[in-house]
Structure 1
Amino acid sequence: MTHYGNIFRTFRLDRQMKLSQVAGDGLSVSQLSRFEREESDLSVTKFFDALEKINVTPDEFMGRVNHYERAEQIKLMSQLARAHYRKDIKRLEQMVVDEENKVLADQENKVARLNAILFRGMICDLNPSRQMRQEDLDQVSDHLFCTENWTIFELILIGNLFKFYETSYMYRLVDEVLQRKELYQDIATHRNLIEATLLNVIEICIDRGDLTAAKHYHDKLMPLLDNERNAYHRILQLYFKGLLAYASGDKTGEQQMRQVVQIFDWIGATYHQETYQEHLKRQLEKYSHIYK
């Protein structure tokens, strides 16, 4: 009953009830107190009896639990983004340990198990010498294709881990996301994740030499960038469009990539300017044989 004790206590205090008013009939004050401090669990029967005494329905209680867990997950994803941006591998490793400890405390805590895999993926992304475990990737796959109603959590898993799968399975994951239009069409946060995922897919397709697939996903991306809502993604789209052209033998793509690097410089986006300047240098070296 992860977090249940603390949430139960909040409900009890909201109703201005003492522990002694809830305890009784096989549930002592000390048992209830330990439960609220999350030092021990209650049996299902005792838990529902306690809910009834504070006049809270199971649906109402679980609604609060789900809200709490979503808030915790959003906070965790924010910490992940900061650590990845700063290339703070030590922080990411500690986040893995924290999630694994949650799993040790509650073997049914599937979210913590998946979080640990996600964080390990971020470490591998920052340090290519580290390899993702196949068993971790299999767990994520099982979760994705056994979960009917995807949420932002599933989009985050796919968006950050798809690159570790072999190419055909990577396409399968991304295509599955694109088919679930109801998940992202009218939700800005979700749509932002889909745009970022497609940009990453385009880059990886080019890197793996599948220019046909890169063009396919570029075509899928364009309808999502139908306004100026996300200028950053529109700028990146121009960069990867240039890269796709350059990798396909069209030297004008180089100029387009250079223009994007210049845009980042003009707007003072130093990190992005340096990142894509270095990326451009690597791409020119990689495809130099085409233009000899």
Structure 2
Amino acid sequence: MEKNLKIGKIIAFIKETKHLKLKEMTGGSFSESQLAKFEKGETEITVGKLFTVLENSNVYLDEFQNLYNDYEQSNEYKFRHKLAVAYAQKNIEKIIEIHNFWKEKSQQNPENKYYKINETVVKTNLVMVQNAEDIKKDTDLLMNYLESVSEWRRYELWVFGNCLRHFDDNALKYYGMQILGKSNYYHSIHLNQQIVIRTFLNLIDTWLRRENLIQAFKYINHLKEIGISINFFYEKILFEYHKAHYKVLQKQNGAIEEMKKHAQTLADYGFPLEAKVLFEEIEKL
């Protein structure tokens, strides 16, 4: 009941700030009095009716979620962001700290499979930073999970994106194709488009590292087909960087300088940490 009261207050807040009437919010699909009582926490409404109110108010679901979380990022988002930053900085101590957190939660709640998956994903990041031993057993656990899900969402794409470098060529080809069929509905959601694009960029990068030009070219072409909006500036520049890397492996003249140019563009436009990683990569070519 407490959650319903909170949601009711948010609906009232939306009505007030957007200067809407109850009739506009319900669209005539259910009674205005029911919505008024819901705002006060006196009754409940179905999920379908809540979606109707949000749609009629021109409020997107992720915007509603931000309101529900008091404009704070979810714990899950904070965790993923913290891990991404620690990995980019090669901060082993921080990654170990994150790993121990999920390891403890997994041990305390073994019935929660997501705690174990999170622990394993963090471990794959730690292994990559340390250039440590093979973790086939852990990779198999993640592959089995991905195989069990028929429609990938943000979480599954995040899991795949973090562990794909540990897959052998056959597994990577298989799961790379799975993305095309398991994430089609993401095209209509901005954040999900970004996640899908970044996953394809990770695939391109991994195939380039393995110097498999055929597979790299395949995903380069796929990203060309779906296109990368200017709204995804970082991803657009990184895509150009990967295409230049592809040219380097083809031994085309001037390709190294092209890679440097794109890395510098990221540095100039507020991505210094990411650019630093790219410049270090270029030095190894």
Give me the TM-score of the superposition, normalised by structure 1.
0.69
Q: Where does residue 81 of structure 2 map in the other structure?
A: 78
Q: 1:107 aligns with which of 106, 110, 115?
A: 110
1:257-272, aligned counterparts within 5 Å? 257-267=259-269, 269-272=271-274
Output aligned runs, 1:30-179, within 5 Å.
Answer: 71-128=74-131, 130-179=132-181
Q: Which has the larger radius of gyration?
A: 1
Deviates more, 1:229-238 or 1:153-162: 229-238
Q: Secondary structure at the match of 2:283?
A: helix
Q: Which residue of 2 aligns with 1:182?
A: 184
User: What amino acid maps onto 1:198 in structure 2?
Assistant: F
CA shift, 1:251, in A, is: 1.4
CA deviation string 1:27-86 (max 9, x = no partner)? xxxxxxxxxxxxxxxxxxxxxxxxxxxx99xx9xxxxxxx99x94423322332233233
| Residue matched to 1:245 | 247
Gap change, CA 1:98 and 1:253, over 3 Å in 2: same
The letter of the residue matching 2:245 is: L
The 1:254/1:83 distance shift into structure 2, 3 A limit, reads: closer
Higher relative CO (Cα under 8 Å, sequence separation at least 6) belongs to: 2
Q: 1:265 to 1:88 in 2, by over 3 A?
A: closer
For the residue of structure 1 that corresponds to 2:178, the secondary structure is: helix
Unaligned segments of structure 2, at least 5 residues:
7-42, 48-67
Quote how far apart the aligned CAs of 1:138 are.
1.0
Does the 8 Å contact 1:99/1:112 carry over to 2? yes
CA contact (8 A) 2:151 2:182 kept: no
The residue type equivalent to 2:175 in the other structure is L
- For residues 202-230 of structure 1, the C-alpha deviation after alignment (integer angstroms, 9 at most, x for no partner) is 12212212101111010111234342111
**Could you tell me which amino acid in structure 1 is paired with residue 186 of structure 2?**
Y
Q: CA-to-partner distance for each residue in 1:121-174, whole Å, 9 max, x for gaps?
A: 11112111x234222111111111112232211010000101101111012112
For residues 146 and 244 of structure 2, the distance between their equivalents in structure 1, rounded to whole angstroms, comes to: 33
Q: Which residue of 2 is the match for residue 47 of structure 1?
A: none
Whether the aligned pair in 1 keeps the contact of 2:106 and 2:119 (CA below 8 Å) is no
Matched with 1:35 is none
Partner amino acid, structure 2, of 1:202: I
CA separation of 1:219 and 1:107: change in aligned 2, threshold 3 A: same
Gaps of 5+ in 1: 1-7, 15-54, 60-66, 284-292
Measured in 1, the distance between the counterparts of 2:165 and 2:276 equals 23
Distance 2:143 2:157 in 1: 13
Change (3 A) 1:275 1:76: closer
Q: How many residues align?
A: 228
Q: What's the secondary structure of 2:100's corresponding residue?
A: helix
* Deviation at residue 108 of structure 1 after TM alignment: 0.9
Cα gap change, 1:265 to 1:117, in 2 (>3 Å): closer
Alignment match, 1:64: none
Aligned partner letter, 1:248 = Q
Quick one: percent identity of the two aligned structures? Answer: 18
TM-score, normalised by the number of residues in structure 2: 0.70
Partner of 1:273: 275
Does the CA-based 8 Å contact 1:121-1:132 persist in structure 2? no
